[in-house]
């Protein structure tokens, strides 16, 4: 975890540093000339409720925007997460210390509507990678090879219920999980 820790610290510095490719010295001088009251209000990770909260405030007039000021969407969510030590994409390996069961599934964090978990069985690497697809609508599924059960833990922005991506009447295609009787799980 030491490496990950160092990377997060570096990323946090990057998020608040000016974009170095641009005229660096000029942007520094302009920044110093600005009254601090013009600093834009930044919504932090806990303020994010809908996708609309993932818009940066933009830079104050006459300054070069930082990533924190100008980033939007999933990129912004990642930066806000890094500033609070929350790894939005969570590239850490999944819990491989046990077999996931229906009662106690292996949790898979996801910031999006869908997340794939790569299963290699239990013990680890006892079968080749099987991708188990999880979604917000169907957060639990199991590996068709070894039966490991995975469950999505959604950590992304909350839908306000008026989103544009509601498909009324749309039915998820059936998968293996829909046909397995619970007593065989």
CB-wise, 131 or 170, nearer to Zn ion?
131
Q: In whole angstroms, what is the distance from residue 161 CA to residue 50 CA?
A: 10
Is there a contact between 67 and 19 (Cβ–Cβ < 8 Å)? Answer: yes
Least separation in angstroms between residue 56's CB and Zn ion is 40
Least separation in angstroms between residue 38's CB and Zn ion is 54
Least separation in angstroms between residue 131's CB and Zn ion is 10
Provide the binding-site residues for Zn ion, judged by CB under 5 A.
119, 121, 143, 145-146, 148
* CA distance readout (Å), 18 to 41, 44, 104, 117: 17, 19, 45, 36
Q: Which residue is nearest to Zn ion (CB)?
A: 143
CB-wise, 59 or 122, nearer to Zn ion?
122
Sign for the pseudo-dihedral over CA of 39, 45, 47, 53: positive
CB-wise, 140 or 146, nearer to Zn ion?
146
Least separation in angstroms between residue 143's CB and Zn ion is 3
Burial of 155 (0-12, 13-18, 19+ CB in 10 A): middle
Least separation in angstroms between residue 98's CB and Zn ion is 13
Q: DSSP code of 72? A: B
CB-wise, 74 or 146, nearer to Zn ion?
146
* CA distance readout (Å), 57 to 42, 46, 105, 139: 7, 16, 40, 34
CB-wise, 73 or 118, nearer to Zn ion?
118
Tokens of 142: 């199991």
């Amino acid at each position: 975890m030491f490496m990950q820790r160092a990377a997060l610290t570096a990323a946090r510095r990057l998020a608040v540093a000016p974009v170095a490719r641009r005229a660096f010295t000029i942007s520094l001088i302009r920044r110093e000339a600005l009254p601090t009251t013009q600093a834009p209000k930044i919504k932090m990770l806990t303020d994010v409720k809908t996708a609309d909260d993932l818009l940066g405030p933009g830079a104050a007039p006459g300054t070069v925007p930082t990533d924190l000021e100008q980033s939007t969407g999933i990129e912004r969510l990642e930066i806000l997460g890094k500033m609070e030590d929350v790894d939005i994409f969570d590239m850490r390996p999944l819990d491989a210390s046990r077999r996931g069961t229906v009662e106690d599934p292996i949790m898979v964090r996801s910031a999006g509507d869908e997340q794939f978990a790569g299963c290699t069985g239990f013990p680890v690497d006892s079968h080749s990678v099987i991708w188990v697809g999880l979604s917000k609508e169907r957060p639990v599924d199991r590996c068709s090879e070894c039966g490991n059960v995975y469950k999505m833990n959604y950590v992304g922005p909350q839908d306000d219920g008026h989103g544009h991506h509601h498909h009324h009447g749309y039915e998820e295609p059936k998968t293996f999980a829909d046909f397995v009787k619970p007593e065989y799980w």
